[in-house]
Chains A and B, each alone.
Chain A
Amino acid sequence: DAGVIQSPRHEVTEMGQEVTLRCKPISGHNSLFWYRQTMMRGLELLIYFNNNVPIDDSGMPEDRFSAKMPNASFSTLKIQPSEPRDSAVYFCASTLGGNTQYFGPGTRLTVL
């Protein structure tokens, strides 16, 4: 089992640029979550999908953030335009039927 796959693992960009983070959940899982981890705020839920449908995006910090899940095996988190305060580690997690959430390795984003 490959686990949750995220790409890229590291991203360095300049303020104002568009950033796209990608996630492939575990095959067969029907829920997908995006989290952000910072030293100040810890692990925060940004948005989650059930059966590809966004259920709760109340954790998305601003309109600059958007997420999509076009099919059961792929999701993106986009930041446009990016700002230095968006620097963080972004995790994707997936689960099946309300059980254990499995986390990916994360994408470390640095916005200069």
Chain B
Amino acid sequence: GENVEQHPSTLSVQEGDSAVIKCTYSDSASNYFPWYKQELGKGPQLIIDIRSNVGEKKDQRIAVTLNKTAKHFSLHITETQPEDSAVYFCAASRTGGGADGLTFGKGTHLIIQP
């Protein structure tokens, strides 16, 4: 089955700086890679996703890049703000998450220092 590795487990950055979280996956058949943000006491919420037919996707301050050859994808957050503090999870799926479940990384605790 799929295995998703995520690094780092904790990331502390100064407010206004950029943050990068990296994930690798093992199943070459995976073609859907979402990123979720989880705040304390809440369920994960999708913040951005990418499919294997594109290499990069941006949405305001967040972007995701995908390298299918190397089987890794990354989340980039620019101009970080205090409300970005949360746990971020990457995930992978073969079919887009609807016909099968998501395999998650272990999460990255992002801390934005004022």
* Chain A positions near chain B (C-beta within 8 angstroms): 4, 31, 33, 35, 42-45, 48, 50, 55-56, 59, 91, 93, 95-106
Question: Which of chain A's residues have a CB closer than 8 A to the CB of B82?
Answer: none
**Which among A44, A95, A97, A101 has the greatest number of chain B C-beta atoms within 10 A?**
A101
* Chain B positions near chain A (C-beta within 8 angstroms): 34, 36, 41-46, 49, 89, 95-107
Q: What are 30 residue pairs bridging A and B, where the CB atoms are less than 8 Å apart in the complex? A: A42-B89, A42-B104, A42-B105, A42-B107, A43-B102, A43-B104, A45-B101, A45-B102, A45-B103, A55-B99, A56-B100, A56-B101, A95-B97, A96-B98, A97-B98, A98-B97, A98-B98, A98-B99, A99-B96, A99-B97, A99-B98, A100-B49, A100-B97, A101-B97, A101-B98, A102-B46, A103-B36, A103-B44, A105-B41, A106-B43
Closest to A94 in B: B98
Secondary structure class of chain A's binding surface, majority of residues: strand
In the assembled complex, the Cα of A98 lies from the Cα of B34 at a distance in Å of 12
Query: Are B43's CB and A103's CB within 8 A?
Result: yes
Query: Are A105's CB and B43's CB within 8 A?
Result: yes
* Shortest distance from the beta carbon of A50 to any chain B beta carbon, whole Å: 7
Closest to B89 in A: A43
Question: Which of chain B's residues have a CB closer than 8 A to the CB of A93?
Answer: 43
Question: Which of chain B's residues have a CB closer than 8 A to the CB of A43?
Answer: 44, 89, 102, 104, 107
Closest to A44 in B: B104
Question: Which of chain B's residues have a CB closer than 8 A to the CB of A101?
Answer: 34, 46, 97-98, 102
Question: Which of chain B's residues have a CB closer than 8 A to the CB of A106?
Answer: 42-43
